[in-house]
Amino acid sequence: MSRLLTDDEVSRQLADLPGWSREGDALVAGIEAPDFPAAIRLVTAAADEAEQMNHHPDIDIRWRTTRWRLTTHDAGGLTQLDIELAHRISTAARAEGAVLDG
Ligand SMILES: C[C@H](O)[C@H](O)[C@H]1CNC2=NC(N)=NC(=O)C2=N1
């Protein structure tokens, strides 16, 4: 589960993750929520998913915009865990009416 993905595997799976892009060894996205409480609810929902997965995002919070950075520190790059967490964050973002803007 924690083997590094090939470049092809990453780009093929990114096609199903609108708003996410690759920056070196990480997947990144900016997500704009309708307001600050919605942004914090999104962070809380993502925290629950991250705990379940034992896989944790780096998050920058600025008013209603959150920026996300996913990588697998233990493996030194991108694994399927990052792809899975990106999907879960996107689902939580949609539930809050937030917009992913890359
Ligand atoms: C010991 C523990 O399972 C590891 O440190 C987990 C915790 N959360 C993690 N989160 C992320 N993003 N990458 C990891 O390699 C990682 N490792």
Write out pLDDT tens, residues 9-51.
Answer: 999 999 999 999 999 999 999 999 999 999 999 999 999 999 9
What's the pLDDT at 88? Answer: 98
What's the pLDDT at 92? Answer: 98
Ligand 1 neighbour 73 (Cβ under 6 A): yes
16's enclosing H/E stretch is: none
pLDDT in tens, 78-95: 999 999 999 999 999 999
Question: Which domains, from first to last, does the chain contain?
Answer: 7-100 (3.30.1360.20)
Ligand 1 neighbour 79 (Cβ under 6 A): no
How far is the centre of ligand 1, averaged over its atoms, from the C-alpha of 68 (Å)? 16
Residue 1's pLDDT band, with cuts at 50, 70 and 90, is low
pTM above 0.95, yes or no: yes
Residue 81 Ramachandran class (φ > 0 left, ψ -120 to 50 alpha, else beta): alpha
